[in-house]
Structure 1
Amino acid sequence: MAEQRKGNLSTLERNKVAQFLLQKSCNGKLNHGAQKEASTSFGITRKSVYKIWKVAEQQLVSGNPVILLPRKQGNQHKDRMKLDVEKVRNLSVLQRSTIRKMAVHLSVSKSQVGNWIKDRQIRAHTSAIKPTLTEVNKLARLRWSLSHLSPDISNGKLDFTGMHNTIHIDEKWFYITKCSDRYYLLPDEEDPYRSCKSKRFITKVMFMCAVTRPLYSSDGELIFDGKIGIFPFTTKEPAKRNSKNRLKGTLETKPIQAITKSVIKDCIINQIIPAIKAKWPPCASKHIIIQQDNAKPHIDPNDEDFKAAANEDGFSMKLVCQPPNSPDSNVNDLGFFRAIQSLQDDKHANGVDDLLRNVSSSFEELSAEKLNNVFLTLQCCYKEIMMVRGGNNYRIPHMNKGGLIMRGTLPQNISVEERLVRDCLEYLMQPENNDGTLYNINHLVSSFGY
């Protein structure tokens, strides 16, 4: 006697049992002992044999061929609670900030809200505060985005310029550690202990980063990685007294806390401009645009000392300010600073010197490919700015650059439809939007015949 099976039979096995029973039947009636014989032959219970026969008998009565179809697997959850979409729409965003709050306002359990999230009936979203824009800001952003387009129309589209002669500079505070961090530990490991004298005064250093778009040859070989440098605002001061760490008079690295216009000017003239001249590839144009934001400590584009330093050795550098309240128009704020910080957070630091080394090494570790990807994202953002008429109420686009690189189909520049450009120009030409400032879009205006 075969050992009785445990678990469900496959569709093939159920059909074999059904055919066996049909051979042991006459005029739709099973012969005496057929169920017991099938149970013994196939090693299943008589109850399973009976269920299979009832299905086969129904098909015989209806005149259909006896074929047992696959059974539906798992619980179909027909009684699962349905999401009241209108009730969710009527909740304010503050009432949806946590699963607990949603559960209370929808009068359901937290696990039920979790099931809706798992079924993708509700999606999670992290909301970030964006700068408030005036109408003047929006028009400036729209003109700025259009100014980076090439006037050449091909197949009904316009491409963004290569941006190889534009250097983006910006500042950021880098902290020696974070107030709160997350780690994944084994059950028997102790919680890491972290301490400092004050969470309000964690050691920090401001850096100024200068990058441009990487330059590749026609065969894809990297000519210039685009990384001009990252420069800390620090000073060397002698120690005022002895300690267990150093003797009195030892030079210590101290961060400059008050970043004034003179500090910024000294960094640009004495560090950034010499670095540009030292690293700039000979095959690239020496007519360079240095783009900065509108922070008060930044120097005036017409500063005489800057002009004198920037127009030597055959170089012609021009300082421009990006539109106000527009961090999304600078590659540093858009994503490059975040990439540096993600690497810097993995490095341990005990003091200012360690922090400087960690930030500098993280800057050098980032590949030219990453930097080029951020410039493509910047062009995508310019396209989105055109679509929302200068606003910032858009999502940063994603185009799966990693997959495109693997397939060798990553575009060199992002294209914009001619119809969109024409609509933006018509919008700017309206009397209420035309203040006489064209922001270097004359090439587009004449190209489109306005």
Structure 2
Amino acid sequence: MAKTTLFRRLKEGRLRRHSNAIKSTLTDENNRARVKFCLSMFQPLSIPQQPTFDGMHNVIHIDEKWFYRTQKNQKFYLGLNEEDPKRTTQNKNYIEKVMFLAAVARPRYDDDGNMTFDGKIGIWPFTFLEEAKRDSKNRDAGTIVTKVLPAVTRKVSQDYMVNKLLPAIKEKWHVSDRGYPIIIQQDNAKTHIPVNDPMFCEAAMADGWNIRLTCEPPNSPDLNILNLGFFAALQALFQNLFPGSLDDIVTKVLQAYGEYPPERCNRIFLTLQSCMREILKLNGGQHYKVPHMRKMALAGASLLPTRLPCDPAIVNAAIEFLSATI
């Protein structure tokens, strides 16, 4: 078919554009784990008559993400007389980048709708400071410079979890919730610490806290709010700040994290619950369209729910699926 014919059919509405994202390959065991995970997120007393998801206010989602100083190709919208942006790098195949560990919980509101906790636990770069060993045109020898860690190993992950994440949780969490379970959800990357890591467990249970570590089902980025929408929004905010150096990347990622509207994070948790309903319908499958709920319109009308219901037939079918595959 000629390109002009294709374009005409598209304008006529007889064809549609579609962006297709590749999905992880799921085994039968992966499907069972996904269904079991989604069922565990319901309020226990609501099953089976009126299945309703839990508010998830005690769950903290963590994950890592690379942030690049710039992209090889980037679109700009300029005025008619505005000059083209000038972007340079010594090597297009090596653009400065920094990996960050991010932790986000669900925002909380009081009975009057006022936010009492924004859900932002923190975001930390995998970098270190070191004295420059020799002079250069950019700085003198002995100047403190920022460098990226050569590798994020399990030992590094343990250090960040114990010495950065846990103190931030204990500082920002409601003191009245001390002693109640707080769940940190991570993925199954090999560099992550096991859920029963002795050093982590000792620090997590110190001072009367009850912080636990759990893993989401394998090959399930759609069950982590960071991958479901938070990182994409953070990346968009970060790109608008145009960092110019390694230190600038760190500074502007922290700035973008601080500017991120917590109301959007609250809506992603509802998106997560709607995705869980789709996963249950497909017996753990992941080839579904993320449902649209018109959350902004509901929020504007003060009708945005804190948790979503689910059709009892879907939940019962999921339970039968698990029973049949044991």
Q: Same fold (TM over 0.5)?
A: yes
1:278 aligns to 2:171 (yes or no):
yes
User: C-alpha separation between the residues in 2 aligned to 1:342 and 1:215?
Assistant: 25
Aligned to 1:219: 112
User: C-alpha separation between the residues in 1 aligned to 2:53 and 2:212?
Assistant: 20
Q: Secondary structure at the match of 1:228?
A: strand
Q: 2:268 aligns with which of 360, 374, 380?
A: 374
1:90-141 residue CA offsets vs partner (Å, 9 max, x unmatched): xxxxxxxxxxxxx34xxxxx33322322232211000011111111101101
Aligned to 1:306: 200
User: C-alpha separation between the residues in 2 aligned to 1:307 and 1:349?
Assistant: 38
1:238 aligns to 2:136 (yes or no):
no
Q: Which amino acid is the alignment partner of residue 306 of structure 2?
A: Q
Aligned to 1:16: none
Q: 1:419 aligns with which of 288, 291, 313?
A: 313
After the TM superposition, which segments of 4 or more aligned residues of structure 1 sit over 6 Å from their partners? none
1:175 aligns to 2:68 (yes or no):
yes
User: C-alpha separation between the residues in 2 aligned to 1:249 and 1:289?
Assistant: 43
User: C-alpha separation between the residues in 2 aligned to 1:134 and 1:188?
Assistant: 56
What is the CA distance between 1:314 and its match in structure 2? 1.3
1:352 aligns to 2:215 (yes or no):
no
What is the CA distance between 1:190 and its match in structure 2? 3.8
What is the CA distance between 1:280 and its match in structure 2? 0.4
2:101 and 2:123 in contact (8 A); partners too: yes
Cα distance change of structure 1 residues 262 and 337 upon mapping to structure 2, 3 Å threshold: same
1:152 aligns to 2:42 (yes or no):
no
Q: Using the aligned pairs only, state the percent identity.
A: 45
User: C-alpha separation between the residues in 2 aligned to 1:199 and 1:140?
Assistant: 41
1:367-422 residue CA offsets vs partner (Å, 9 max, x unmatched): 22011011111111111100111011111122111111111111111110111101
User: C-alpha separation between the residues in 1 aligned to 2:181 and 2:152?
Assistant: 29
Aligned to 1:428: 322
Q: 1:253 aligns with which of 146, 150, 174?
A: 146
Pairing 1:109-120 to 2, within 5 Å after superposition: 110-120=3-13
User: C-alpha separation between the residues in 2 aligned to 1:181 and 1:268?
Assistant: 35
Pairing 1:17-416 to 2, within 5 Å after superposition: 103-104=1-2, 110-153=3-46, 156-284=49-177, 286-416=180-310
What is the CA distance between 1:349 and its match in structure 2? 1.5
User: C-alpha separation between the residues in 1 aligned to 2:119 and 2:80?
Assistant: 45
Pairwise CA RMSD of aligned residues? 1.5
1:237 and 1:253 in contact (8 A); partners too: yes
User: C-alpha separation between the residues in 1 aligned to 2:239 and 2:169?
Assistant: 28
1:198-236 residue CA offsets vs partner (Å, 9 max, x unmatched): 122110000000111111112211111110000110001
User: C-alpha separation between the residues in 2 aligned to 1:388 and 1:270?
Assistant: 40
2:48 and 2:316 in contact (8 A); partners too: no
What is the CA distance between 1:283 and its match in structure 2? 3.5
User: C-alpha separation between the residues in 2 aligned to 1:242 and 1:223?
Assistant: 50
Q: TM-score, normalised by structure 2?
A: 0.96
What is the CA distance between 1:351 and its match in structure 2? 1.1
- Higher Cα Rg, which structure: 1
What is the CA distance between 1:187 and its match in structure 2? 4.1
Q: Which amino acid is the alignment partner of residue 225 of structure 1?
A: D
User: C-alpha separation between the residues in 2 aligned to 1:119 and 1:404?
Assistant: 33
Cα distance change of structure 1 residues 273 and 186 upon mapping to structure 2, 3 Å threshold: same
Q: Secondary structure at the match of 1:424?
A: helix
Q: After the TM superposition, which of the residue ranges 270-279 and 118-127 deviates more from structure 2?
A: 118-127
User: C-alpha separation between the residues in 2 aligned to 1:155 and 1:240?
Assistant: 66
2:68 and 2:98 in contact (8 A); partners too: yes
Q: Secondary structure at the match of 1:403?
A: helix
Q: Secondary structure at the match of 2:229?
A: helix
What is the CA distance between 1:257 and its match in structure 2? 3.0
User: C-alpha separation between the residues in 2 aligned to 1:294 and 1:244?
Assistant: 43
Structure 1: segments with no counterpart, 5+ residues: 1-102, 105-109, 435-450
2:60 and 2:183 in contact (8 A); partners too: yes
Cα distance change of structure 1 residues 180 and 378 upon mapping to structure 2, 3 Å threshold: same
